[in-house]
Amino acid sequence: MSRLHVVSGKGGTGKTTVAAALALALAEEGRRSLLVEVEGRQGIAQLFETEALPYEERKIAVAPGGGEVFALAIDAERALLDYLQMFYKLGGAGRALKKLGAIDFATTIAPGLRDVLLTGKACEAVRRKRKDGRPVYDHVVMDAPPTGRITRFLNVNDEVAGLARIGPIHNQAQAVMRVLKSPETAVHLVTLLEEMPVQETVDGVAELRAAGLPVGGIFINMVRPEILDEEALARAGGTERAAVAGALSRAGVGGARRGGRAERLVGPLLEQAGEHVERVRLESAQRKEIAGLGLPSRELELLSGGADLAGLYRLAKDIRKQGIPEAAA
Amino acid sequence: MTLDAAPRLDVDRLLDDPGTRIIVCCGAGGVGKTTTAAALGVRAAERGRKTVVLTIDPARRLAQSMGIASLDNVPRRVEGILAGGRPDGDEPDGDRSAGDGSAGEAPDGEGPDGDRTDEDGTGRGGSAGGRDRDRRPGGELHAMMLDMKRTFDEIVVAHADAERARAILENPFYQSLSAGFAGTQEYMAMEKLGQLRARDEWDLIIVDTPPSRSALDFLDAPKRLGSFLDGKFIRVLMAPAKVGGRAGMKFLNAGMSVMTGTLSKLMGGQLLRDVQTFVAAMDTMFGGFRTRADATYRLLQAPGTAFLVVAAPERDALREAAYFVERLAAEDMPLAGLVLNRVHGSGAAGLSAERALGAAETLESENLENARIVDQGDGETASRAAESLGDGAPAGDSPAAGGGPDEAAPREDEDESAGNRPDSSGNGQDGPHGQDGPARRATADRLAAGLLRLHAERMQVLGREQHNRDRFTALHPEVPVAEVSALPGDVHDLAGLRAIGERLAADGSTPGAA
C-alpha cells in the first residue's frame, strides 16, 4: 500500500486541491494523514481557509469518521537547520553557517540541495514512528512541483548520491531514494481534459517510468457533464428551432410574443451549445489519450462554486468512492 | 460596469512603440504565458518589428506552431510571417474606437442580441485573411528556446581561458549544477536576455519566464547571486579542505577550520573538493557574473522594458498576479498591464444563471408529466439529452448557482420581472406552438432545457470570473487589462497564434465573446 502520495500536475490543473482532497480521503476511519507543501505558496492554508502555515505540523482538518489531516509547509532553510541539528547536533555551528551565508547558499544558490531537503523532510515524515512502533502518519501527501519538474525533483537525491559518493549526505540521499522508488510511494498526476495538460501528463509519465519512479494514477480534474450531444444540437438548431423558442417562451425566459426575445435567445444559446459539443468532442479524444497510459484514472467533477472547503470534502468523498490509486507493483 | 473601471491595455500601442525594446511575460504556471509571448511575437513581427521570442519551456505543440520543432539555444527565423501590403500604417487606435463602444455596452445591455455573437463566436477560423490593414512590412520573427546547460557552457567558454574552461566543464559539481537543478533556469534566462539585448539585432525582445516555484524567482535570481558573491561563505569554500591535517591548515584561523571541517563532515571530503575546485575555477568569472546580473537587473528597470503580467480569471492565478504587480512596483520595474487569458463570455448575458436553471427545471418537470401521457417513441436524442440532464442537475448543485456568483452575474432583463415567472402560468397556455403534438413538444422542451442548463453553467463561470477580476481591479485599479476570450481548443499553428494576437489587441471588454 502506498504511504507517500506525491501529487503533481501542470500548473492550473488544481493539483493543490486534489492533493488536499486526497489527504482528506486518506484520513478516513480514524487514520491520520499529513499534507505537505514544498513550494512556499501557502496554497494549503488558503484552501483550508486558515492563516499561513508555519514550519510546523499542525492539524488543519478532521475527516468524516474521525480521521485527522495535518499540514506542513516545508521551508528549506528551516529543514536544513533541522537536519544539522538532528543528524549532527550542530546547533551552534548551524547558526554560524547561517551567518556565513552557507545556508543561503545551500537553499537558494545551489537549488538542487533545496530539493534534497524538501524530499528528505517528506520521507522523514513517512518513516517517523511512534513509541509503539506504528507510524506517526498513516499517509503523507505531497503537493509537489509541476509535471515538468517532478522527475528531476524526485530524482535529485540520485544525482546528489552520485556527487557525494561517500559521507552522510550520500547516505541520506540514498535513504530518500529508497523510499521514493519503493512501492510505498505513488506519484499521481493531475490533468484537465485539454490538450496541453494531457500531453504534459503523457510526457511526465514516460519520464517517471524511465527514472524508475512508481507512477500511481491520473486524476482528471474539473470534469463537466455532457448536457447535449451533437445530434440534439443539430435538432435544436434545425427542425426544432421554432419549437425550442416556443419552449423557452413557455418557460418564461423569452416573453410570450412570437418572434420576441425567445427567438433572439435561441441563437446565442445554440452557439454556446455548439462550443459545448465541440469541447465534449475534444475531451473524448483526450480521454482516449489518457486511457492509453494504462494507469488507473479518477474523474473529479468541476466544483461549480470554486474550490472551497465544502468542495474539498465533496472531492474527498468522490475519491474515496472511486478508490485511491496505488502504484503498480 | 464595474469591470470597465479597469483601463484597457492597448497591446498594439505597446508593440508599435519603437521605445519598447523588451517585453517580459510573467505569471503563475498554466495561464498561457508562453502562448501569450508567442502570440505577441507574431503580432509584433507582422506589425513591422524585428522581434525575437525567448521561450523557456514551450509545450511541444507550441514550438511546432511556430514551425520550429527543433527550437534550440540560437534564435531561428520563423517562416510564414505576413507583412502587410500597405506600408502606410494606420494609426493603431483610430479605426477601432467605433467598435469599442458597441462591444462595451454588452454587460449592461438588453440581453440577447443576435448579431453580437457573430463577430466573436467564429473567430477561431476566419481571422487569417481579414486584418491586412494591421500589417506592416519589414518585420521578422525569430524564436528560440533556452538551453540552460548550453548557455552556462557558453558563458564559461567565453569568460575563461581554455584550460580553466575545461577544468570547469569537467567538474562533476558544475555538470549537475548546469544540467538544470531548479533555479539555474532563472539565472540563465536572465543571462540570455542580457546577451540578446547586447547583440542589438532586434527591435523587440519578448521573454517568457520560467515555470518557477514562484513566478518571482527570476527577479530574485540575479540578486541572490550577488548576495552570495558578496558573502563570506564563498571565501570559506575557497579555503583548502581539511584533509588529514595538512600544513596549510595552520594558516587558517580557528573559525574557518571549524567551518571547513563541518562542511567536509556534511558533504563528504570528495564533494567538498569538487565544490572547491569548481569555485576556484569559476573565481575569475564570478566578477563578470555579478556585473552582468546587475546589468540585467537594471535593464529590467529601464524605460524600454515592459512587464506584462499574465493570468487566467481564476482565483489563484489572479492572486499571484496581484502579488506580482505589487512586487514589480516595489522593484521599480515598469508594468505595462495585465493580460487576462481564457475569459468567457455569453451572447445572452442578460439571462442569469438562476433564471436559466429555474426555466430548465420548469421544462423538465413539465416533461415528466408529459412522459406519463406520451408513449416512449419520441426519439433517442432527446431521451439521451434528458438522461444526462438528470445527471447534470443533482439537487446539491443548484445552491451554487445562488451562491458565489450572484453579486456579479445577474444582469436581468428588465422586461422580465417577477410577475412573469415561469411557475404554473406557462404550463396552462399553449404558446405559439400549441398545434404541435405533445411528443414533439416534449422533445423541444428537453432540448430547450439542455440549452438553458448549458447557459446557466456558462453564466456561473462568467460570474466567478468577474468576481475574481473585480477583486483584482479593486486592489489595483490603475493596472490596464487586456482580455483574451477563451478558445475551444489549443493553438497548433501560426494562424492560431495570430488569432490570439487579434484577441489580445481587440477591445478587452467583450463579454459577448465566447
SS (H, E, C) B491-504: CCCHHHHHHHHHHH
Q: What is the pLDDT of residues B414-427, one digit of tens each?
A: 344 433 444 333 33
Residue B24, pLDDT score? 93
Cα dihedral B8, B14, B20, B23 sign: positive
Beta bridge partners of B178: none
Contact assignment for A243 to B400 by CB distance below 8 Å: no
CA proximity to B208, closest of B35, B364, B415, B403: B35
| Matching residue, cell 523588451 | B22
Q: Look at residue A109 and give its three-state secondary structure.
A: helix
Q: Say yes or no: A164 contacts chain B, CB-CB below 8 A.
A: yes
> For residue B511, what is its C-alpha cell?
463579454
CA distance to B162, B268, B284, B286, per residue, from B167 (Å)? 9, 21, 13, 15
Residue B377 located in a structural domain:
yes
Does residue A164 or residue B287 have the better pLDDT?
Answer: A164
Q: Which domain holds residue B432?
A: 353-474
User: Which chain B residues touch A271 with a CB distance below 8 Å?
Assistant: 117, 121, 347, 514
Give CA angle at B497 (B492, B500), nearest 5°.
120
What's B8's DSSP letter?
B
Record: contact B433-A243, CB cut-off 8 A: yes
Residue B124 lies in a domain: no
Cα B368 to its chain centre, rounded Å, is: 45
Q: Are A142 and A38 in contact (CB under 8 A)?
A: yes
pLDDT average, residue stretch A258-262:
64
According to DSSP, the β-strands at B204-208 and A297-301 are unpaired
In whole angstroms, how far apart are CA A300 and each of A7, A65, A101, A140, B422? 15, 22, 45, 21, 33
Which comes out higher in pLDDT, residue A173 or A3? A3
Q: Is residue B258 domain-shared with residue B237, that is, in the same domain?
A: yes
Q: A79: pLDDT confidence band, cut at 50, 70 and 90?
A: confident
| Residue B211 counted as domain residue | yes
Q: Residue B352 pairs with which residues in a beta bridge? A: none
Q: Which residue of B has its CA nearest to A105?
A: B228
Helices (H), B113-251: 116-121, 148-159, 162-170, 172-178, 184-199, 217-230, 233-238
**Cα gap A54→B279, rounded to integer Å:** 35
> Chain B 388-427, CB below 8 Å of chain A: which residues?
388-389, 391-392, 397, 400-401, 403-404, 413, 415-416, 420-422, 425-427
| Burial profile B216-255: b = 16 or more Cβ within 10 angstroms, e = fewer | bbbbbbbebbbbbbebebbebbebebbeeeeeebeebeee
> In this structure, is residue B511 part of a structural domain?
no
Contacts of A231 in chain B (CB under 8 A): 381, 384
| Minimum CA–CA partner of B424 in chain A | A251
Question: In terms of C-beta density within 10 A (0-12 exposed, 13-18 middle, 19 or more buried), how is residue B323 classed?
Answer: middle
Domain match, B228 and B266 both: yes
Predicted pLDDT at B351: 92
For residue A31, pLDDT beyond 70: yes
Judged on CB neighbours under 10 Å (0-12, 13-18, 19+), A112 is: buried
How many structural domains comprise chain B?
2
- Strand B76-77 with B140-145, pairing: antiparallel
Q: Are strands B204-208 and B22-26 parallel, antiparallel or unpaired?
A: parallel
For residue B187, give the C-alpha cell: 539565472
At B404 the pLDDT is 37
Cα angle B316, B485, B37; round to 5: 75
Residue B405 located in a structural domain: yes
Given the C-alpha cell 514562484, which residue does it identify?
A: B214
Please check whether residues B306 and B411 belong to one and the same domain.
Answer: no
**DSSP symbol at B92:** T
Nearest by Cα to B50 from B119, B143, B126: B143
Residue B258 lies in a domain: yes
**B177 and B35 fall within a common domain:** yes
- Mention every residue, 6+ apart, whose C-beta is less than 8 A from residue A36: A71, A72, A73, A74, A121, A122, A125, A140, A141, A142, A143
**Do both B373 and B392 map to the same domain?**
yes
The answer to whether residues B36 and B180 belong to one domain is: yes
Where is B13: in which H helix or E strand? Answer: helix B11-16
Verify whether the Cβ–Cβ distance A100 to B391 is below 8 Å. no
SS3 A137: coil
B213 vs A: CB within 8 A? yes
Of A43, A169, A231, Cβ closest to residue B381: A231
Both B429 and B320 in one domain: the answer is no
CA distance B171 to A206: 30
Closest CA to A62 of A38, A31, A87: A31
Give the A:B interface size as CB pairs under 8 Å: 323
Q: What pLDDT, on a 0 to 100 scale, did the predictor assign at position A73?
A: 92
Strand locations in A160-261 (E): 185-191, 215-223
- Please indicate, yes or no, whether residues B182 and B324 belong to a single structural domain of this protein: yes
Residue B82 CA to residue A232 CA, distance in Å, equals 41
Q: Which residues pair with A71 in a beta bridge?
A: A35, A58
Is B433's CB within 8 Å of A256's CB?
no
CA distance A82 to B277: 28
In Å, how far is A167's CA from the nearest CA of chain B? 5
Report yes or no: A37 at the B interface, CB cutoff 8 Å. Answer: no
Tell me, yes or no, whether B312 lies in a domain: yes
Contacting B residues, span 445-484, partner chain A, CB-CB under 8 Å: 445, 447-455, 457-458, 460, 464
Q: Using the beta-carbon criterion (under 8 Å), do B455 and A109 form an inter-chain contact?
A: no
C-alpha grid cell for residue B46?
507582422
Interface contact B233-A10, CB threshold 8 A: no
Whether B119 maps to a domain, the answer reads no
A135 in contact with chain B, both atoms CB, cutoff 8 A: no
pLDDT of residue B276: 74
Indicate whether B272 and B359 sit together in one domain.
no
Q: What is the pLDDT of residues A48-77, one digit of tens each?
A: 988 888 888 999 999 988 899 999 998 877
Residues B209 and B66 in one domain: yes
Q: What is the DSSP string of B334-402?
A: -EEEEEEEEE---TTTTS-HHHHHHHHHHHHHHHHHHHHHS-S-S-HHHHHHHHHHHHH--GGGHHHHH
Nearest CA-CA partner of B206 in B28, B30, B40, B45? B40
Query: d(Cα B434, Cα A52) in Å, to the nearest integer?
Result: 61
Most A-contacting residue of B64, B259, B451 (CB-CB within 10 A), to test interface: B451
Q: How far apart are CA B360 and CA B457, in angstroms?
A: 12
B73 phi and psi angles, rounded to 5 deg: -80, 5
CB atoms within 10 A of CB B186: 25
Q: In B, which residues are within 8 Å of A268 by CB distance?
A: 112, 114, 117, 346-348
**Confidence check: pLDDT of A149 > 80:** yes
pLDDT band at A318 (very low <50, low <70, confident <90, very high): very high
- Whichever domain contains B221, its CATH number is 3.40.50.300
Residues B164 and B267 occupy one common structural domain: yes
Select the residue from A89, A113, A272 to test the B interface by mutation, using most B Cβ atoms within 10 A.
A272
Tell me which residues of chain B have a pLDDT lower than 50.
1-3, 85-130, 182, 241-252, 375-434, 508-514
Residues contacting B491, CB < 8 A, separation 6+: B35, B38, B39, B61, B62, B65, B497, B500
- Distance (Å) from the C-alpha of residue B351 to the closest C-alpha of chain A? 8
Residues B282 and B414 in one domain: no
- The reply to whether residue B346 touches residue A272, judged by beta carbons under 8 angstroms, is yes
Which residues in chain A are contacts of B366 at CB distance < 8 A? 250
| A102 to B404: CB separation less than 8 angstroms, yes or no | no
CB within 8 A of B102, min separation 6: which ones? B116
**pLDDT given for residue B186 in this prediction:** 75
